[in-house]
Amino acid sequence: MLSAFFRLMSYTIVVINLVTGGIFLYLIAPYTSYFFFNDLRFWKYLKYYHKYFFYSASYIWALLRREQGLIKTVLPLTSPPMDRPDPALFRITKHWNLPADSCGECNRCCTFVLDCCFLDKSKNQCVAYGSLFWKYFNCGRFPSSQAMLNYVKCPKYEMQN
């Protein structure tokens, strides 16, 4: 129930932010910073606020125009936050020769629709790693479904038998 409320609130914030041309995230800056970066020191992250506005608008546009298949992978509202794929559904493939907690040079799940605005490509690192946004939506739990796994062609995970 709490997860559903939190997701609905988050979607509402995204919509209000789009309608206000990206201003809204600045008006709630400490919350924005905590939600995306796990840090109330919002002044450190202001450069991402407008990036997120353009990213979210482009992402929604891409879903509607060319990636409609992804719409059915949207998480149920009540899904719990997760920081790893569900071990009952997914395992690391035996071909994966990097440490289990590394994705090496791969960033497919951060770029398969658009380059995520929180991906620091110079280090191949996520600046939103571990945040509420990361845990409640598709990042921490990736892959969240077989459809998502197939869509992204992730080289690391496969379905459990």
CB of 157 to ligand SF4, least distance (A): 6
110 binds ligand SF4, rule: CB under 6 A: yes
Q: Where are the alpha helices (DSSP H) in 20-155?
A: 24-27, 29-37, 46-65, 108-111, 132-136, 146-152
CB of 66 to ligand SF4, least distance (A): 18
Identify the residue among 25, 116, 132, 148 touching ligand SF4 (CB under 6 A).
116
Longest CA–CA span in the chain (Å) reads 48
Tokens of 158: 């496969």
Q: How far apart are CA 116 and CA 125, in angstroms?
A: 11
The residue (of 103 and 132) whose beta carbon lies closer to ligand SF4 is 103
132 binds ligand SF4, rule: CB under 6 A: no
Count of CB atoms within 10 A of residue 94's CB? 7
Residues of this chain that interact with ligand SF4 (CB under 6 A) are 103, 106-110, 116, 118-119, 126, 128, 134, 139, 142, 152, 154-156
